[in-house]
Structure 1
Amino acid sequence: MVRLPLTPAEVERGERLGALLRRARGERSMLTTALEARVSPETLRKIESGRVATPAFPTIAAIADVLGLSLDAVWAEINQPDNDHVPTP
């Protein structure tokens, strides 16, 4: 199966997601967080670094649960409007 290239918006959302998870994890170890969420540390590392811009929903739900994040908060963070882009009237 061939995956279509990610759009710039998808890449940006992935970067926002990674930044949110890194902030929420704080000083917790990546290994501990990944094991508690039942995902591999490599998967968590890739998501946090933005290399996996569109992770599976159950993966994000499990990580968010371990970090005490609501899915509403995750959704709001990754779908915030681009503050650098000024719409043309």
Structure 2
Amino acid sequence: MVRTPLTPEERERGERLGRLLREARGGRSMTEVAASAGISAETLRKIETGRAPTPAFFTVAALARALALSMDELAGLCAPAAV
């Protein structure tokens, strides 16, 4: 299976998601949040740095739950900026 390259907009959206998650994590350690979400710290690191710009839905949902974020809020904040 060949994966199609991500568009610049998809990469930018992934970077926004990473920034939002990093900000929501605040003073909590990456390891603590990752364990709470049931993912590896390396997976969280990749998402936060934009190296994994399209994480699985269930991964994002688990992180949102661990960080007490609304999925609606995350989706809205990650949406492309209006032109």
TM range (shorter): over 0.9
Distance, in Å, in 2 between the alignment partners of 1:73 and 1:24 is 12
CA deviation after TM superposition for structure 1 residue 80, in Å = 4.2
The TM-score, its normalising length taken from structure 2, stands at: 0.96
Distance, in Å, in 1 between the alignment partners of 2:5 and 2:28 is 33
Q: Write the deviation string for residues 9-41 of structure 1: whole angstroms up to 9, x where unpaired.
A: 000000000000000000100001000100011
Aligned to 2:76: 76
Bigger Rg, which one: 1
What stretches of structure 1 move > 2 A for 4+ residues in a row? Answer: none
Number of residues of Structure 1 aligned to a counterpart in Structure 2 = 83
Distance, in Å, in 1 between the alignment partners of 2:41 and 2:35 is 7
CA RMSD of aligned residues (A): 1.0
Distance, in Å, in 2 between the alignment partners of 1:38 and 1:4 is 28
Aligned to 2:63: 63
Q: Secondary structure at the match of 1:55?
A: coil
Distance, in Å, in 1 between the alignment partners of 2:77 and 2:16 is 7
Aligned partners of 2:10 and 2:53 also within 8 Å: yes
Distance, in Å, in 1 between the alignment partners of 2:29 and 2:41 is 10
Aligned to 2:22: 22
Aligned to 1:50: 50
Unaligned runs of 5+ residues in structure 2 are none
The TM-score, its normalising length taken from structure 1, stands at: 0.90
Identity %: 58
